[in-house]
Amino acid sequence: MIPEVLRPRKLPTPFGPITTPGIGKPKPGLPELDERRKKAVRHAVATDLTGILGLIPYVGPLIGGQIADLHFAEMKKILTSRELDRFIEADKKIPSNGLALLYSFVRNGER
């Protein structure tokens, strides 16, 4: 059942009645991923997991940073320029690269 706030309403105004649009519930679930997008998500998750290497004293951050850069470069090759732009925008809001990439796929209704 849709809450009362989300249903369309007719509001009286001095200029005449105005009808507000209803807001539907978003469709839950992950986007459909083809093989190209699956590869990009794997690289994004691998980029996140390289943070674990940063726990190794002295050389961990150097090794982890290099591996993360390699995975990010592969992701840039796989994604289209539009997908990459949406990913970079989502990555500023979401700290996990994997989740940011999935969010960028879902954001414009590409399921």
Strand partners, 10: 19
Q: Is 26 a domain residue?
A: no
Q: Is 46 a domain residue?
A: yes
Model confidence at 105, pLDDT cuts 50, 70, 90, reads confident
Q: What share of the chain is helix, strand, coil (3-state, %, to 5)?
A: 60, 5, 40
Q: Is 89 a domain residue?
A: yes
Q: Is 51 a domain residue?
A: yes
For residue 60, the surrounding DSSP H or E stretch is helix 60-78
The answer to whether 90 and 103 are in contact (CB under 8 A) is yes
Q: What is the pLDDT of residues 58-104, one digit of tens each?
A: 898 999 999 999 999 999 999 999 999 999 998 888 889 998 998 88
Tell me 88's DSSP state.
H
**Domains in the chain: how many in total?**
1
Q: What is the pLDDT of residues 13-57, one digit of tens each?
A: 999 999 887 766 656 667 778 899 999 999 999 999 998 988 889
Q: Is 91 a domain residue?
A: yes
Residue 101 structural domain: 33-111
Q: Is 27 a domain residue?
A: no
Q: Is the pLDDT of residue 111 over 50?
A: no
Q: Is 18 a domain residue?
A: no
